[in-house]
Amino acid sequence: GENIVSFDNNLSFTPLTSCQLYALVPNQFPASMYKTASLKTLLEYPFILYQNNENAPANWLNVLEYFGTPKQIITRTSRPLCHSLISAGLGVGLYIMPVMKTQQETLALENVAHLVIRDDIQINYGYLTLRDHKFSDDAHILLDYIKQCLEF
Protein backbone atom coordinates (compact mmCIF):
# COMPACT_ATOMS: atom_id res chain seq x y z
CA GLY A 1 0.00 0.00 0.00
CA GLU A 2 0.86 3.61 -0.40
CA ASN A 3 0.73 6.21 2.39
CA ILE A 4 -1.17 9.38 1.62
CA VAL A 5 0.07 10.83 4.89
CA SER A 6 3.76 11.00 5.66
CA PHE A 7 5.52 11.90 8.88
CA ASP A 8 8.84 13.43 9.77
CA ASN A 9 11.45 10.78 10.67
CA ASN A 10 11.66 12.24 14.19
CA LEU A 11 8.02 11.32 14.80
CA SER A 12 6.50 8.01 15.76
CA PHE A 13 2.85 7.02 15.12
CA THR A 14 1.14 4.72 17.61
CA PRO A 15 -2.18 3.30 16.39
CA LEU A 16 -5.03 2.99 18.89
CA THR A 17 -7.69 1.40 16.68
CA SER A 18 -8.31 0.70 13.01
CA CYS A 19 -11.44 1.73 11.14
CA GLN A 20 -13.49 0.84 8.06
CA LEU A 21 -14.54 3.53 5.58
CA TYR A 22 -18.25 3.73 4.65
CA ALA A 23 -20.25 5.83 2.22
CA LEU A 24 -23.61 7.41 3.01
CA VAL A 25 -25.50 7.11 -0.27
CA PRO A 26 -28.98 8.66 -0.62
CA ASN A 27 -31.63 6.05 -1.43
CA GLN A 28 -32.51 7.77 -4.72
CA PHE A 29 -28.99 7.20 -6.09
CA PRO A 30 -28.63 3.92 -8.06
CA ALA A 31 -25.52 2.95 -6.04
CA SER A 32 -27.65 2.74 -2.87
CA MET A 33 -28.88 -0.74 -3.85
CA TYR A 34 -25.40 -2.22 -3.29
CA LYS A 35 -23.79 -3.28 -0.02
CA THR A 36 -20.28 -2.20 -1.09
CA ALA A 37 -18.76 0.32 -3.48
CA SER A 38 -15.39 1.58 -4.58
CA LEU A 39 -14.62 5.27 -4.25
CA LYS A 40 -13.88 5.43 -7.96
CA THR A 41 -17.45 4.39 -8.82
CA LEU A 42 -18.91 6.92 -6.38
CA LEU A 43 -17.00 9.83 -7.97
CA GLU A 44 -19.87 10.27 -10.45
CA TYR A 45 -21.98 11.66 -7.58
CA PRO A 46 -21.57 14.94 -5.69
CA PHE A 47 -19.80 14.56 -2.34
CA ILE A 48 -20.81 16.42 0.79
CA LEU A 49 -17.81 16.71 3.09
CA TYR A 50 -17.49 18.04 6.61
CA GLN A 51 -14.82 20.70 7.07
CA ASN A 52 -13.55 21.53 10.59
CA ASN A 53 -13.31 25.21 9.72
CA GLU A 54 -13.37 27.30 6.57
CA ASN A 55 -9.56 27.45 6.36
CA ALA A 56 -8.99 23.71 6.78
CA PRO A 57 -9.20 21.18 3.96
CA ALA A 58 -12.38 19.12 3.92
CA ASN A 59 -12.23 15.75 5.65
CA TRP A 60 -11.65 12.88 3.19
CA LEU A 61 -10.77 15.19 0.29
CA ASN A 62 -7.22 13.85 -0.04
CA VAL A 63 -8.53 10.27 -0.02
CA LEU A 64 -11.12 11.02 -2.71
CA GLU A 65 -8.60 12.79 -4.92
CA TYR A 66 -6.34 9.75 -4.72
CA PHE A 67 -9.07 7.86 -6.63
CA GLY A 68 -9.97 10.66 -9.05
CA THR A 69 -12.00 13.86 -9.23
CA PRO A 70 -15.51 13.87 -7.76
CA LYS A 71 -18.33 15.27 -9.90
CA GLN A 72 -18.79 18.03 -7.30
CA ILE A 73 -17.60 18.73 -3.76
CA ILE A 74 -19.85 20.53 -1.32
CA THR A 75 -18.21 21.42 2.00
CA ARG A 76 -19.88 22.60 5.18
CA THR A 77 -18.54 23.38 8.65
CA SER A 78 -21.61 21.89 10.33
CA ARG A 79 -21.80 18.11 10.63
CA PRO A 80 -25.62 18.17 11.16
CA LEU A 81 -26.00 20.28 8.00
CA CYS A 82 -23.90 17.76 6.05
CA HIS A 83 -26.15 14.99 7.33
CA SER A 84 -29.28 16.92 6.31
CA LEU A 85 -27.92 17.51 2.81
CA ILE A 86 -27.05 13.83 2.41
CA SER A 87 -30.48 12.73 3.73
CA ALA A 88 -32.12 15.16 1.29
CA GLY A 89 -30.35 13.40 -1.59
CA LEU A 90 -27.91 16.14 -2.54
CA GLY A 91 -24.75 14.04 -2.35
CA VAL A 92 -22.73 11.20 -0.88
CA GLY A 93 -20.93 11.41 2.45
CA LEU A 94 -18.15 9.38 4.04
CA TYR A 95 -17.65 8.14 7.58
CA ILE A 96 -15.65 5.54 9.44
CA MET A 97 -16.68 2.71 11.74
CA PRO A 98 -16.39 2.56 14.56
CA VAL A 99 -17.50 6.16 14.89
CA MET A 100 -16.55 8.38 17.78
CA LYS A 101 -19.21 8.68 20.49
CA THR A 102 -19.69 12.31 19.50
CA GLN A 103 -20.53 11.35 15.90
CA GLN A 104 -23.03 8.52 16.39
CA GLU A 105 -25.86 10.57 14.84
CA THR A 106 -24.29 9.54 11.52
CA LEU A 107 -25.65 6.02 12.01
CA ALA A 108 -29.24 7.23 12.47
CA LEU A 109 -29.59 9.09 9.16
CA GLU A 110 -32.78 8.41 7.25
CA ASN A 111 -33.17 7.83 3.51
CA VAL A 112 -29.55 6.72 3.05
CA ALA A 113 -27.75 3.44 2.49
CA HIS A 114 -24.53 2.68 4.36
CA LEU A 115 -22.09 1.09 1.89
CA VAL A 116 -18.77 -0.46 2.86
CA ILE A 117 -15.95 1.04 0.82
CA ARG A 118 -14.18 -2.00 -0.60
CA ASP A 119 -10.99 -0.22 -1.67
CA ASP A 120 -7.85 -1.17 0.24
CA ILE A 121 -7.79 1.85 2.54
CA GLN A 122 -6.30 1.53 6.01
CA ILE A 123 -7.46 4.10 8.52
CA ASN A 124 -6.11 4.21 12.06
CA TYR A 125 -6.82 6.43 15.03
CA GLY A 126 -3.62 7.03 16.90
CA TYR A 127 -1.19 9.61 18.13
CA LEU A 128 2.14 11.10 17.11
CA THR A 129 5.05 11.57 19.46
CA LEU A 130 8.68 12.45 19.13
CA ARG A 131 10.63 9.23 18.86
CA ASP A 132 11.53 7.78 22.27
CA HIS A 133 9.40 10.42 24.04
CA LYS A 134 8.18 9.55 27.55
CA PHE A 135 4.68 10.68 28.51
CA SER A 136 4.01 12.86 31.55
CA ASP A 137 1.26 11.87 34.00
CA ASP A 138 -1.02 14.51 32.44
CA ALA A 139 -0.40 13.07 28.98
CA HIS A 140 -1.37 9.61 30.25
CA ILE A 141 -4.66 11.04 31.57
CA LEU A 142 -5.37 12.61 28.19
CA LEU A 143 -4.48 9.37 26.39
CA ASP A 144 -6.82 7.40 28.68
CA TYR A 145 -9.60 9.87 27.87
CA ILE A 146 -9.01 9.45 24.14
CA LYS A 147 -9.09 5.66 24.49
CA GLN A 148 -12.44 5.94 26.32
CA CYS A 149 -13.83 8.01 23.44
CA LEU A 150 -12.77 5.24 21.07
CA GLU A 151 -14.69 2.59 23.03
CA PHE A 152 -17.89 1.90 21.25
Among left, alpha and beta (phi > 0; psi -120 to 50; other), residue 45 is beta
Cis omega (within 30 of 0) for bond into 98: yes
d(CA 113, CA 34): 8
Q: How confident is the model at residue 128, as a pLDDT?
A: 86
Q: 89: number of CA atoms within 13 Å, CB side? A: 7
DSSP state of 132: T
pLDDT in tens, the chain (152 residues): 566 667 788 888 888 888 889 999 999 999 999 999 999 999 999 999 998 888 777 778 888 988 999 999 999 999 899 999 999 999 999 988 875 555 666 667 788 999 999 999 888 888 888 888 888 899 889 888 887 776 64
**The pLDDT of residue 76:** 92
Contact predicate 73/47, CB 8 Å:
yes
Predicted local confidence at residue 113, as pLDDT = 94
Distance between CA atoms of residues 131 and 12, nearest Å: 5
pLDDT of res. 33: 96
- Rounded-to-integer distance, Cα 35 and Cα 40, Å: 15
Going by C-alpha positions, the residue among 92, 98, 145 that lies closest to residue 115 is 92
